[in-house]
Amino acid sequence: MNKFLQRWTVFAGLIVFWQLAGMAADDPFFPPPSDIVTAAWEWWVLEPQNVTEHILPSIGRLLSGWAIASVIGVALGVLLGRSDRAMDYAGPLLVFLRSIPPPALVPVFLLLFRGGTSMQLATIIFGVIWPVLLNSVDGARSVDVTKVDTSAVFRIPRHQWVLGVVLPAASPKIFAGLRVSLSLSLVLMVISELVGTDNGIGSQLMQAQREFDYTRMWAGIVLLGVLGYGLNTVLLAVERRALAWQPRSRDEQHA
């Protein structure tokens, strides 16, 4: 209980300060949290069609793009990580591609897919695949030499060796890449919805800004923060369960 209070004391203090400052300033660009909560309640609860038309499609695009990028990134990363020759050939190309800002390719994806879900998924996948891919490469390279030699002595089949030796050894770094990519997918989901679509959280943020409805705009921003926190919490729970076999430090055990 004390740990919980310590974690949320600073956050609660900032909310109280924001509320008092917002009421004192009376600035339409920075409304107090009470007004934002009221706008969120009216926007998302009293008008439930907004949930099905905007929130759920956004979450679907986010999770779909992240899942596709994760599968491709882990598979390709493990393959490249266990082959020095393949990495020598593919390394420069990977560095070049990951250096391209994903938002810069939105016009290209608009031209190729003419907007819609396909364009949004392409933007998310291209942007979030790199943390997963590069962390999977590092994880696959970090397999203990003793395990590799033991597997060779016992002539373990290739697929069993990958599933039973390489992936467990690389899983800590893979999950680190998954956490980073999940945060990026939320950002790219919003960016991809600013153009080429009329639904989604990003499009609603743009519409609120155009209508000078800044309270509703802030309600959308808060919604993104809550969504990101919830997804990260779920992924951390999955990671702790999947990596329960690994020894953890005292701080991690009490986290």
pLDDT tens, 28-67? 888 999 999 999 888 888 888 888 888 999 999 999 999 9
CATH classification of the domain holding 104: 1.10.3720.10
> How many independent structural domains does the chain possess?
1
Structure tokens at 81: 């990580």
Q: Is residue 144 part of a domain?
A: yes
Q: What range defines the domain where residue 186 resides?
A: 58-242
**7 in a structural domain:** no
Residue 81 lies in a domain: yes
Per the prediction, the chain carries an average pLDDT of 85
**Separation of alpha carbons 186 and 151, rounded Å:** 40
Asked whether the beta carbons of 201 and 193 are under 8 A apart, the reply is: yes
Instruction: Quote the CA–CA distance of 123 and 195 in Å, as a whole number.
Output: 12
pLDDT tier at 251, thresholds 50, 70, 90:
very low
Query: Exposed, middle or buried, 179 (CB in 10 Å: 0-12/13-18/19+)?
Result: middle
Give the dihedral of Cα atoms 64, 70, 75, 79; nearest 10 deg.
140
- Phi (first) and psi of residue 36, to 5 degrees: -65, -45
Q: Is the pLDDT of residue 104 over 60?
A: yes
Name the residue with higher pLDDT: 253 or 232: 232
Residue 190 has pLDDT above 90, yes or no: yes
**208/43 Cα distance (integer angstroms):** 11
Cβ atoms < 10 Å from Cβ of 127? 25
Is 148 within 8 Å of 197 (Cβ atoms)?
no
For the entire predicted model, the pTM comes to: 0.86
Kindly tell me if the per-residue pLDDT of 112 is higher than 60: yes
pLDDT tens sequence across 60-89: 999 999 999 999 999 999 888 888 788 888
Percent of the chain with pLDDT over 70: 87
Q: How far apart are the first and last CA of the chain?
A: 12
d(CA 74, CA 76): 6
Q: According to DSSP H, which parts of the chain are helical?
A: 2-25, 33-40, 49-50, 56-81, 84-98, 106-113, 116-141, 145-153, 158-161, 167-193, 201-210, 214-242, 250-253
Let me know the angle formed at the C-alpha of 64 by 60 and 68, rounded to the nearest 5 degrees.
Answer: 175
Q: Is residue 252 part of a domain?
A: no
229 inside domain: yes
d(C-alpha 60, C-alpha 232), whole Å: 16
- Residue 147 pLDDT level (bands cut at 50, 70, 90): low
**155 in any annotated domain:** yes
Report, as an integer, the average pLDDT of 143-158: 66
pLDDT at residue number 86: 84
Average pLDDT over residues 208-230: 92
